Amino acid sequence: MSGEDVRDLQRSLTALGFHTAVRGKFDTLTAKQVRALQRSAKRRATGVVDGGTARFIANVLAAEGTGGIVAQLPDSGGRGGAGQGDSAPADAGPQPLAPGSRARLTSDGLAQAPADAPAEVQAIIAAGNKIAHLPYRYGGGHGSFNDSAYDCSGSVSFGLHGAGLLRSPEDSTGLESFGSDGAGQWVTIYANSGHTFMVVAGLRFDTSGASQTGSRWQRAQRSSSGYTVRHPDGL
């Protein structure tokens, strides 16, 4: 496995004292440090970042300064995500519709849904606006749709859930089989084992690049090489 999620995992491991090079490839050293973290957390030392391990990492990082890894924060056994007490994403408020069939990006990094788009597309954009400025966190948005930070697949899952198209969060591998094959007219999802993003009515919704723009919504497109291309049925 390789990609942005692995780089974020490696940064997280290093921040917790389990140092590894941030290269974006799940190499032998990364697996060794994952096992070391799992032993410290009194988890089974498999070297595999399953949902429970991802959730534990996310919770410990959120609790840094209040006991660190020895705090042994509780783990629900889910696939990463929210810690206890996380609040729902803030409602960004309704955005006026943009004329035509393409979404527009506002100066504050939110998306205006196109007036000609189906209701589901407008709902995806409204959901995306709720989390557009929230931080990235590995495993974020997987234990619950309501979280304080979201990773790439958690972000895409949240948008799709907002339109009633997804009942529970999916990781990037799961999104490789979501919906129908190929690009959609309104919504296209790009997924592989390391990353996922989507393009909605012409705007890219992607955690990659958000550190530069401050928003998951971005005008600039990116290469789709190496990604499985899917779309919601009918969109």
Question: pLDDT band at 130, cuts 50/70/90?
Answer: very high
Higher pLDDT, 71 or 63: 63
Is 213 exposed, middle or buried (CB count within 10 Å of its CB: 0-12, 13-18, 19+)?
middle
Cα 156 from Cα 169, distance rounded (Å): 9
pLDDT one-digit tens code per residue, 183-201: 999 999 999 988 999 999 9
Mean pLDDT of the chain: 83
The pLDDT of residue 116: 95
The pLDDT of residue 78: 31
pLDDT at 221 over 90: yes
Q: What burial letters (b/e) apply to 151-170, b meaning 16+ CB within 10 Å?
A: bbbbbbbbbbbbbebbeebb
pLDDT at 159 over 80: yes
Question: Looking at residues 10-23, what average pLDDT do you find?
Answer: 82
The pLDDT of residue 3: 83
Question: pLDDT band at 57, cuts 50/70/90?
Answer: confident
The pLDDT of residue 179: 96
pLDDT at 71 over 50: no
84-88, 153-157, 228-232: the lowest-pLDDT one: 84-88
Contact (Cβ atoms closer than 8 angstroms) between residue 138 and residue 54:
yes
